[in-house]
Amino acid sequence: MESVSEYILIGASGHAKVVLDILEKSGEKVQCLLELNPSIKQLFNHPVFEEGDFFIKPDHLVIVAVGDNKRRQLIASKHNVSFGLAIHPEATIASYVKIGTGSMIMAKAVINPDVTIGDHCIINTGSVVEHDCELGDYCHVSPGAVVCGGVSVGEGTQIGAGAVILPGVKIGSWVMIGAGAVVTKNVPSDSVLIGNPGKVIT
């Protein structure tokens, strides 16, 4: 009989609700959630502890269930633990895809062949990552976004809901792509892009 992993989620807000649902639908066991906000004591039927009040064991699998990329990076970097994966049963993941530890793939997401996704990424509901793409650690592809073939995305970049990245574009690290933007050209690191066609505004 296949053993069931015990997961610990760090974070207990809206994003954690989605990750918790993914794990439960995948047949995984969530023991508890950890949260800095002491007013949150329970999420659905799961207890919530303050960080520091619960000991993470070596055999636990941890997911940082926090939507904000910088905060997710900060939390993950200070924990020397084993990170798991949360992949919704209704996500479509092709062969020859590499997904880093701690990443979260939501319902109806599509990831096509020869894609590499870094650690602690979020591929959100109904988004598409086409063939031959590479996403760095801590990226977030928001709901309904489309990343066309051959795109590279640097660490920590947020692709807004419904945005479209055209084939072969290179996006730097810690970029914010606005909702509904259409990215037609390369985007430098630490910038904000909005509009159709997309324009860098900072």
**What whole-number distance in Å separates Cα of residue 149 and Cα of residue 142?**
17
Cis peptide before 197 (omega within 30 of 0): yes
CA distances from residue 115 to 37, 48, 80, 125, 166 in whole angstroms, order as listed? 36, 35, 27, 18, 16
**Active-site annotation holds for 131:** yes
- Which residue is listed with tokens 């894609």? 115
The answer to whether 132 and 150 are in contact (CB under 8 A) is yes
Those residues whose C-beta lies under 8 Å from the C-beta of residue 191, and which sit 6 or more positions away, are: 172, 175, 176, 200, 201, 202
Q: Which is the catalytic residue, given 46, 60, 79, 131?
A: 131
Q: Where in the sequence numbering do the catalytic residues fall? A: 131
